[in-house]
Amino acid sequence: MKDFSKYCFRASQISKLLTGTIGLTDIKKARLIELQTRKMDSATGVIDDKGKPIKPLTPNMEQELKDLSETNKNKDLPKTMKSELRKIFRMETYNRNFPISNKYIVKGLLQEEEAITNYQNFRNSKGIRTLFSKNTERIKNEFFSGEPDLGPFGVPIMKWKEGFDTKCSWGLETFPFPEDELDFVYECQNQIYMDLTGAEKWTTAYCLVNIHEHGLNNEKLKIFYALNCPDSEDESWEYYQDKCKEIEKSMIFDYDRFVEQYPFHDMVYSKDEWHGEGNDIPLEERIIEKVSVYDNSFIENAKERVLLGREYLKYLQNGNLNP
């Protein structure tokens, strides 16, 4: 039987454990104390600063006090956190995975090495001498586990002072702006990675890299089948070629690099036409860095949620599958 009392949550799971509030927020706790104090002071005849007795609570305040008191007693877990824990319970109990796959995830997996190369070149172009080492080791401590992405070449993972992670954006529409905040899911991962390794900061690099050939073909085939598989003799052929150009332009950001990797792909855009239109996007505009700094209060909060999560997993294990 799985021992959930020592279960270490993965870095990728932490964001869902940290959703919602349990009991009252700090603001509502302060309001509860305010109402409780006023009710007690009124009942005991306490005098205010103006020499007048403290007024009793109004009917609305009495109801508010009752509601806040009930909520404060209710330590039920937030819905998203509970849903994640129920999924983890089934995965661990029955040795199953619940894989999620879509075109965005596939691009991230297939183009990871391309993103790392682009990011490394970007940093070197800025005068930051960089040679990354891809980590494949899963590490854990008393509360968390994770498989950090990148660190300085030749440095053992537990001696990293700074870590890195790359994220492949699907296209320009999902590529962030420099002023955008780091996605909360990635911030959680970064904090856990720092706690696991002892690193002081962690950088997430959003990378806008070319689509892989398979992905480009898939997008073109959607149009091809929608137009009833046209050939050069059909009236819709020119329209199909135009749509393929649009797809190439929306998914390729470095033409020469794509052709270098996939020399046999039937490109609709010619090299001269592509460069004549200036369709490449410079490397320095295709990398956005977001830096996380170790936050001890974040980690302590995450540890509290881990302890609550373990209790709920044990609750499910004892047969309470429909709480």
- For residue 124, the tally of other CB atoms under 10 A from its CB is 12
Instruction: Enumerate residues 6+ apart whose C-beta is below 8 A from 204.
Output: 164, 165, 166, 167, 182, 186, 190, 289, 290, 292
Of 7-16, 96-105, 283-292, 293-302, minimum mean pLDDT range: 96-105
* Cα distance between residue 208 and residue 205, in whole Å: 10
- For residue 288, the tally of other CB atoms under 10 A from its CB is 19
pLDDT per position as a tens digit, 300-323: 999 999 999 999 999 999 886 544
Query: Is the pLDDT assigned to residue 192 strictly greater than 80?
Result: yes
pLDDT for 323: 43
By percentage, how much of the chain surpasses pLDDT 70?
A: 98
* Structural domain spans, the chain: 23-74, 213-280
- pLDDT tier at 21, thresholds 50, 70, 90: confident
The mean of the pLDDT values for the chain is 93
pLDDT per position as a tens digit, 232-265: 999 999 999 999 999 999 999 999 999 999 999 9
- pLDDT tier at 49, thresholds 50, 70, 90: confident
pLDDT per position as a tens digit, 195-230: 999 999 999 999 999 999 999 999 999 999 999 999
Alpha carbon 68 to its chain's center: 33
Instruction: Enumerate residues 6+ apart whose C-beta is below 8 A from 12.
Output: 146, 185, 189
Place of tokens 């080492």: 133
pLDDT per position as a tens digit, 132-144: 999 999 999 999 9
